[in-house]
Structure formats: C-alpha cells, structure tokens
Amino acid sequence: MFETLKAQPADKILSLMAAYRADPRDDKVDLGVGVYKNADGQTPIMRAVKAAEKKLWEVEDTKSYTGLAGDTGYHDVMRNLILGDAVSPDQVAAAATPGGTGAIRQGLELIKMASPQATIWLSAPTWPNHPSIIKYLGMPMAEYRYFDADTRGVDFGGMLTDLDQAKAGDIVLLHGCCHNPTGANLTASQWQEVADFLKAKQLIPFVDIAYQGFGDGLDADAFGVRHLAKTQPEMLVAASCSKNFGIYRERAGVLMAISQDPAKTALNQGTVAFLNRQNFSFPPDHGARLVTLVLNDAELRTDWLNELEDIRTGMLGLRQQLSDALRKRTNSDKFDFIAQHRGMFSRLGATEAQVEAMRESHGIYMVSDSRLNIAGLNAQSVPILADAIVAAGV
C-alpha cells in the first residue's frame, strides 16, 4: 500500500522557517510565520489565559469527554463574542473544533453533505489552506478578484463582477477581518453592499474570522459577520481563538451554522455534532475551557481586553513606523497602504525575485508572494526591512 503514496509538496512556510533557522546572520528577520510575536520575538501566554489556567487547575475535577459538539458554555461565549446581539441564540448551532482550521474543515464537510453541487468561491488570494482542503475534499471551487496589485487595496468592483457569475446556492468564503494574506479589508459600506448582493443572488456566506481584535477592535472587526448574520437567510462562521487568546497549540475553534428560521437550529446542531463524531469524535476542551473562563470572569476579561488592545495598537504602531520609514526613503506615498492595512499581514506586491533578493542581501524572510507578518517586526528591524524593500526595487 505505502509504495503507491506520492510525496506531497513541501509547505512553503515550514520550508521558510527551516531556512531562517539555518541562516547564521544575527540581524536576520523572520516575517513568514503567521503567529504574533512581541518586541522580543516571543509568542507570550496572555496574562488572563495564564490566570485562567491556574484557576482551571484548582477547580477542574475530571478529564472525561465533553459533548460531541463541545461545551455549551464555550458555544455561548463565542457566539456572544463574534455575533453580539445580531441574532438570537436559538438561531445558532455551534460545535467546538480543533482550531479555526478544524472549523473550516467541518463547515466544508457540512456543505458537501447538504449541497454537494455548490461551488465554493474564494478571494484571490486567500489563505492557502482554504483551496487545499477544498481540493482534497473534491469540491467545486472558483475565485473572485479581491486584491488590487496596483493600489494594494480591495478590488471591490472586480469582486462583485466575478461573484455575479455565481449561481444560487453557491458558497462565498469571506475573511471576517484582517484579510490573510493581504491585510486589505472591506469597509463597513462595502460589507453592507456585499450583504445586499449575496441576498439578491441567493448566495450563502461562509465567514472565516481568525483575527477578531487584531484590526480595529473586537466590535469593529465583527461588523461584517454581524451584519451578514442579521440580513442573510443562512450562513456559516468558522472562528479561531489561536490569535486573540494566544492559544495556538491548544487548538480552540468553533463552527457556527446560523439560520433566520429557528426551526432549523436543532437539525443544524445535530448535523455539526454528527460531523464531529465522524472526524474526531469529541473536540479538544482545554483551550475552549480557558476561553470560557476568561470571558465569563469580569476581572480576567478586562485584563484580556487590555492586553489584546496593547497587541492591536502595537501592530498599528509598527505599520506606521514602516510606512513612515519607506516614505522617508522613497520620498513618495507608495507604501502608505501598509499603515492602512489591518491585522498581522500585508502583501507588499513584490515579485518572487525581489523577495529572494531581500532574503539574500538583508536576511529578510517572508513568503514568496511577499506576504509579511507585521508582528514579526520591532523598532530595530523596521529600518532593516525598509532598506531591503528599497534596495530590492519593490
């Protein structure tokens, strides 16, 4: 059996990590891996999460399974965090998953079960795991224009033109905020226009929201998903706690199926529980339990909110520093888009050759499509990156 297996393509980011580790230069800069790092290059455990772990250690009295869909208390806090009062609880079915990737996978499994002929429409570009999983599942997919390589903003006209080719019942996968890999986001008015468009075309939104709180704030970052929840007959949401709670290795995610008809919620809830059973039976609980403790404890929640705000504003500060450094070096506003983007990532618009030149000459490690992790920067590395960008002729 094993002799029939074929080698799979190497993961570009993992390969980049290996090359970075092998580079002996002291001033090398890692902007490839999609995790938050502080000014010391560390991914710290958030204070509130550490306190919740201590509390959990003191009160937890069993390691028995949770329900197939996970703990209902976790469902409640995640529904409130993401959806607010956009919908009533009886309109939402939820299942805990192994991270946001698990939520995406379970959402796609649900689509394949309910509507196997539906095409999944993805932004161009999108997070590479989106098309990878869809292809693996053998589902139809197509792309809609999203990123304008000239302005480094959203090609909104192209987006709607392409989605006009979609058929009723197709799925439109949208990034809830902090678009990965570009950092270019829809405005509030564009979200409203997208909602009207989807409803008129009878298209079903599937929102991937992995960076809530990293862009313009928790509520502002949830504007799009909440507006869709209010206006669409049905939709799916996949969420991750990896970034905004810093619990990457705990794999805490959630899938939500939302319907304007509460009568469908019981069926939806049974379906997402069934899908969990088929793929991994019971979901992991440790990270979900920590999130629940933090969000239900007023003191821990306040501390978490304060630290999350420090992280968010710190990244905005780094964006502004890099934008200012490039404006000074180029005497132009060509790179002002970096300060306008939101979240951990921006796409520079550099060619693969320019990315390679920055790596060879300045030790700058970013993904070959020129996606850079803003959180990988600090005050010392910003001028190094700015010099590399200018020298490479980006």
What lies within 8 Å, CB to CB, of 341 at 6+ separation is 152, 182, 183, 184, 185, 319
Among candidate residues 216, 243, 250, 238, the one with its CA nearest the CA of residue 34: 243
What lies within 8 Å, CB to CB, of 299 at 6+ separation is none
> Is 264 among the residues known to form the active site?
no
Amino acid of residue 12: K
Question: Exactly one of 243, 257, 386, 392 is catalytic; which is it?
Answer: 243
Q: Token pair for residue 103?
A: 């939520």
Other C-beta atoms lying within 10 Å of the C-beta of residue 79: 22
Angle of helix 156-163 relative to helix 188-201, nearest 10 degrees? Answer: 10
Q: Token pair for residue 128?
A: 């590479």
Question: Exactly one of 30, 155, 170, 208 is catalytic; which is it?
Answer: 208
Among candidate residues 51, 29, 102, 74, the one with its CA nearest the CA of residue 355: 29
Q: Report DSSP state, residue 263.
A: G
Q: How far is CA 23 from CA 28, 250, 368, in A?
A: 8, 30, 17
Tell me the C-alpha distance between 312 and 132, whole Å.
Answer: 29
Tell me the C-alpha distance between 224 and 212, whole Å.
Answer: 11
> Is 155 among the residues known to form the active site?
no
> Is 221 among the residues known to form the active site?
no
> Is 162 among the residues known to form the active site?
no
Cis omega (within 30 of 0) for bond into 284: no
Question: Exactly one of 210, 288, 339, 357 is catalytic; which is it?
Answer: 210
Question: Exactly one of 121, 127, 191, 304 is catalytic; which is it?
Answer: 127
Question: In this structure, are residues 198 and 205 in contact, taking their beta carbons and an 8 Å threshold?
Answer: yes
Tell me the C-alpha distance between 323 and 320, whole Å.
Answer: 5
Which positions are annotated as active-site residues?
A: 127, 208, 210, 243
